[in-house]
Each structure stands twice: as C-alpha cells, then as structure tokens.
Amino acid sequence: MRSVVIVGAGELGGALARQVAAADLTARVTLVDDAGKVAEGKALDIRQAAPVDGYSTYLIGSTDESAVVGAEVIVIADRAATNAEWQDDAGVALVRRLAYLNPSAMILCAGAQHLALVERGVREGGLDRLRLFGSAPEALRSAVVSMTALEGGCTPVDISLTVVGRPPQQSIVPWEDASIAGRRATDVLSPPAITRLDGRLIRLWPPGPFTLASAATRVLAAAAKRNHHTVCAFVAVTREEGDRGRVGMLPVRLNARGIATVLTPTLSTRDRVRLDTALQR
C-alpha cells in the first residue's frame, strides 16, 4: 500500500493517522482537514515520533482534498474543528467529491455514525458497495470478544466470533457460529452467560475514537496483507441478502481494492429472522 489519505484531523483522524503510521502499512499518510494548521501539526508530531517508535511512514498535513488523487485508500474520519464525524448532506457531498477525484480508491468510513453515510453513498451516490464501506463494526466485534473472554475465562485470541445486524438495537452475535479455543461457544458458555452478553451489546455502542481508529487500522491491514482474515464492516446488502442498498454489519474478506467477499455466518432460525428484519425497511 503506497498511499493512504485520511479526511478529517479530529480526535479519530489523528488517532488513526498515528496507528496506521505505527503499523507501517503504507509509505505515506496524508491528513486532510479544513483546519490545515491542525492537520499539519498532528502530522508533524506523528512524524517526529517515528525514530522513537521505529516506523518509517511519512506523514504530511494538508487542506487540499485533491490530495486523494492517486491514493490507494481514502479514509473518512472527523473534522478537527468540532471532532464531529462527517455525515448527513455534507458527508454525502464529500463522498461524491472524493469518488470523482479518485475513481478507483477504496473509501473506508471509520466513524461510528457512518452507517448512514455508507448507505446514502451507495443509494444516492451510486458508489460500488465493494468500494465504499465502514469499519466501526470491527470495533464492536472487538468489544464483544473482550467481554466474552471474561465470561469464558480465556484470552481474546482464543475467541472467534462476528457481529451482524444494525447497531445498537439490532446488534446480533451468531453464537452458533462462534468458537472458543476451537470449541463451539455454545458448548463453553452457559445459556445465562450468553444472555448476559447479549444484554450488554447495546451498551457497547458507540465505540470511542481510539477503538474506532484501531478497528480501521485492522481493516486496512487485512486489505493490505490480503491474508484472508475476516473483519466486520458496514456494507450495503444486495437483494439476495436483504433490501438493496440497506446497510448492515456483516463479516467480509478484503483485497487491495475493497471488499472481496461478503460472508453470511451460520445463523439460528431466530437470528436469521432478526437479521432479515434488521436489513429490511
């Protein structure tokens, strides 16, 4: 991955720039924001930490949206002036401008409020759902893994699970598809434990900016390394999966251009009905 442009130098954008740089996923990160001095200052601060932390990523700040021209990945974050995520009409207009300036780059929406931005970008902007998607569900999945590790008395690396639906009220963990240390989660966790975990789902949303930044970095790493790792994403569904253009959380596999495959986990009859309801208007 040669170049990543992060649009928005707020708390999320700054944390994301730092984590992407430290992960050495790309040669160059450009932080773009109307508040140019803020973007330049954060980029300089991260760049000066490189010799201490041992990464080689080069960072710059800019006010010019045309910096996205030629980038392999565009990430939409939050504005420095307000720390508010790009959304609503302004967010949709931004997505359209970026897609026009760079017709081929992956566009990753990193914010917790970006479900609607992905939805409108696909429905109204006509963007390919494999190119425009969101990474916040991966942050939710990470939180669920941590809570499950506490219930199961194990470490997070022992756990494999996903989340589907639409947060926060329609978040679903397909426990039948989850595993803990190679065993089915439903064989390890008691029914009361699963009920407790499901009851906490709504309180895990929205994730904070640093967790969102970590999730977006993980998604970018999966795309850059093409390692077939599954991540959770905001993705517009097809007619076969639900209501066309309706966005939900689903597991996906990525490649350098965006989503390679949208996966459907094994669902119980109850969870299938809940997911179908979440993905339909």
- Is pLDDT at 138 greater than 60 in this prediction? yes
Write the pLDDT tens digit of every residue in 18-52. Answer: 999 999 999 999 999 999 899 999 999 999 999 99
- Is pLDDT at 242 greater than 60 in this prediction? no
Same-domain check for residues 43 and 142: no
- Is pLDDT at 211 greater than 60 in this prediction? yes
Same-domain check for residues 149 and 270: yes
Which pTM does this prediction carry? 0.95
Same-domain check for residues 177 and 272: yes
Average pLDDT over residues 63-82: 96
User: What tokens appear for 50 in the block?
Assistant: 């490189």
Alpha carbon distance, N-terminus to C-terminus of the chain: 38
Same-domain check for residues 39 and 63: yes
Choose one of 102, 118, 136: the last residue of a domain: 136
Same-domain check for residues 143 and 256: yes
Same-domain check for residues 71 and 142: no
pLDDT of residue 227: 63
Task: Return d(Cα 60, Cα 80) in angstroms, integer.
Answer: 15
User: What tokens appear for 6 in the block?
Assistant: 């992060």
Same-domain check for residues 90 and 194: no
Same-domain check for residues 172 and 125: no
93-98: list long-range contacts, CB under 8 Å, 24+ apart: 94/7, 95/120, 95/121, 95/125, 95/127, 95/132, 96/121, 96/125, 97/65, 98/7, 98/65, 98/68, 98/74
Write the pLDDT tens digit of every residue in 167-207. Answer: 999 999 999 999 999 999 999 999 999 999 999 999 999 99
The pLDDT mean for the chain works out to: 94
* Torsion, Cα of 39, 40, 41, 43 (10° steps): 80
Same-domain check for residues 174 and 240: yes
- Is pLDDT at 163 greater than 60 in this prediction? yes
pLDDT of residue 226: 65
- What domain count does the chain have? 2
Choose one of 93, 111, 136: the last residue of a domain: 136
- Is pLDDT at 1 greater than 90 in this prediction? no
Same-domain check for residues 93 and 160: no
Same-domain check for residues 160 and 251: yes
Domain of 78, in residue numbers: 3-136
Choose one of 88, 111, 136: the last residue of a domain: 136
Same-domain check for residues 175 and 279: yes
Q: Is 84 exposed, middle or buried (0-12, 13-18, 19+ CB in 10 A)?
A: middle
* Torsion, Cα of 91, 29, 260, 214 (10° steps): -80
Give the CATH number, domain containing residue 266. Answer: 3.90.110.10
Give the CATH number, domain containing residue 115. Answer: 3.40.50.720
- Is pLDDT at 98 greater than 60 in this prediction? yes
- Is pLDDT at 104 greater than 80 in this prediction? yes
pLDDT of residue 36: 83
With pLDDT > 90 as the criterion, what percentage of the chain qualifies? 89
Average pLDDT over residues 75-100: 96
